[in-house]
Amino acid sequence: MAVHRQEKDYTVVNLIRQREIQESIAHTVSQKLHVTEDLVLRLGLEKELNGHSGCVNCLEWDETGKVLASASDDTNIILWDPFRYEKKLVIHTGHRGNIFSAKFMPKTNNNVLVSGAADCKVQVHDLSLTEPILACYCHLGRVKRIATIGSIPSLFWSVAEDGLVLQYDIRAPHTCENNEPNVLINLVNHMGRSAEGKCISINPKRPELIAIGANDAYIRMYDRRMIKHSQVPIVFPHVDWDRRHLSFIRSGEGDPEDNVPLGCAQYFIAGHLHSRPRDGNRSLTATYLTFSADGNELLVNMGGEQIYLYDINNSKNSKIFQSYNVKNISETNEKDSKSKNGCIESCDVNLANTNIRTLPHHVEELKRQANEGFEQQKYTIAINLYNKAISYCPTAAVLFANRAAAFMKRAWDGDTYAALRDCRTTLLLDPQHVKAHFRLARCLFDLNRSVEAEKVIKNFLCKFPEYASNSACKALKMDIKEAIDSGRDIDSFEQDLSRISGYEKEWRSNTIDYKMRFCGHCNTTTDIKEANFFGNNGQYIVAGSDDGSFFIWDRNTTNIIRVLRGDDRIVNCLQPHPSTCLLATSGIDPVIRLWSPLPEDGSINDREIKNLEDAASANQIRMNRDPFELMLINMGYRFPVEQPEENEPNEEIDDQNDQPIVHPLNCRPS
């Protein structure tokens, strides 16, 4: 039975009329009309706010949306009236380095702000006073982010590149010299001496949960109720501080008093990043993370990679696939049923009974268009169409099988792993799907999981012996054997785990995989690039990019729906207004830009980038460039576009009536 996206059951006029009659519907009106597809498609530049003399590194709306705070390399914080486009106040913070984070303290009527900067200082500013009411020097690295939570207005947290997460209570006096226990988490004790904290977020519905992003691919979530606070471990002057001084700390040895118990942490990571080969040109760093409004999901902008959405509650939904035994998959009666854009959700039925073999007409048409795009080697277009089709029919094996083929051909970062996930879903829905079996083995091989690939290909040939003489099958078997014999399996790329704590090893072995992935932007140049939910239900995802644009994705399909030019060089910050369709952005330019729906008067939006696929493809190339080439690109130099190789072997996709036992196997991707 097809699952259709919920149709719009309202109009603006009807909702406004109902609000006049029923006062209780006012909240419903604001929810439904906060951010709609029509408004997003009309989004354009409303105004530029000028006042800073350096890069604007952070933006923050107050709870009402009447005040916008911005902080910059010029060490000033400016409070703006976003509707009159006027400065309300300029705060000369006294910081001696770039300000990376500024937050309003909740329930203070916007009179108290917290700032963190590159001078390693955290300051609390009472706007009625001339000097900060708190100046903390406890951090010994650049302070990257401050976090607050509305339900606990007296507390705030900071994370810095010294690997420390500190907790503050503004009701109590703070002194840095008496070694008070304000360290919530010391990442160095578990990750080793190179640990750096980069971003932080507090769950809005469950404020005991705190998420931390660091300078690796793992996202860490802790239950802070279980953590025993500790003291700042370093006491020598800041001016002499160097990372080498961390040598005497318990680097990678764990907490001395078991401050962070084993059961209080849950780690998240995209499955293909778990043991990715080290790339000297590109490091993985979580540049921003935020919980959804309902507290059930965690959105992460992974520097050097893509954007990922994690389900923090349903671990069965997204455990990393440790073993791909096709026999187990094909004979499974796993507790799986519903699919969310390629991610099977838990339910007590046999998935094979839910496979949609006859697609509705509109879905069949989407599949036909996607197949056509695939044949024309327009793989991104094909993937977008399959995404739409899957949003309507989330249990149709043929759609996942076809999308897997398109992912394998496009071969962006993470595409092979996405194809592997789709192959698994296909086999859960249709255990007899030949091409999905074969592609599963191919994906595992391409991911350097050759031992698992060998098991899968053996099981494949046992199940379908008629393909033993197939040339593609023979070639893959030879490739797998060669990889195993030469030691090119995933274990060869495992990180050196000898310098991390035992708890850290355990946490990394029980990670949760992503729920959704959003591709198209580039995040390699700065470590403060944000990604945010847009809309009252988080129905859109927004993020900046190194190409000076910002991207808007449909969360349901993961497709890009808008790309707008937001900066001359790089867009770092995007903060949606809390109650209306208004977006504030900033980047390298010393201005803040406000974006809102433009009037439908026929005028051209000169900041809109029309060709979404080309913009995304160019960013994928940019993301994999040599750093020197990337520097030249940022200076304006243009390299010739790389052309695909000729005579590339063709990949067949599946039609609705695929009979894999009869037709020859022709599914060896390049």
Q: Each residue of 167-178: pLDDT tens digit?
A: 999 999 998 876
| N-term to C-term CA, the chain | 35
Output b/e per residue, 124-152; b: 16+ Cβ within 10 A: bbbbeeeebebebebbbbbbbbbbbbeee
Output b/e per residue, 391-405; b: 16+ Cβ within 10 A: bbbbbbbbbbbbbbb
Q: Which residue has the higher pLDDT, 546 or 26?
A: 546
| Span of 531-535, 545-549, 641-645 with lowest mean pLDDT | 641-645
* Model confidence at 204: pLDDT above 60: yes
* Model confidence at 246: pLDDT above 50: no
Alpha helices in 469-518 (DSSP H): 471-485, 502-509
pTM check: above 0.75: yes
pLDDT tens readout for residues 375-392: 999 999 999 999 999 999
| Span of 159-168, 255-264, 423-432, 651-660 with lowest mean pLDDT | 651-660
Query: Confidence band (pLDDT; 50, 70, 90) for 249?
Result: low
Query: Confidence band (pLDDT; 50, 70, 90) for 223?
Result: very high
Query: Confidence band (pLDDT; 50, 70, 90) for 352?
Result: confident
Rounded Cα distance between 383 and 580, Å, is: 32
Query: Confidence band (pLDDT; 50, 70, 90) for 199?
Result: very high
* Model confidence at 448: pLDDT above 60: yes
* Model confidence at 475: pLDDT above 80: yes
For residue 562, list its beta bridge partners: 552
Rounded Cα distance between 199 and 212, Å, is: 6
Rounded Cα distance between 420 and 451, Å, is: 15
Q: Which residue has the higher pLDDT, 669 or 539?
A: 539
Predicted local confidence at residue 340, as pLDDT: 54
* Model confidence at 506: pLDDT above 80: yes
Determine contact, residues 509/479, Cβ cutoff 8 Å. Answer: no
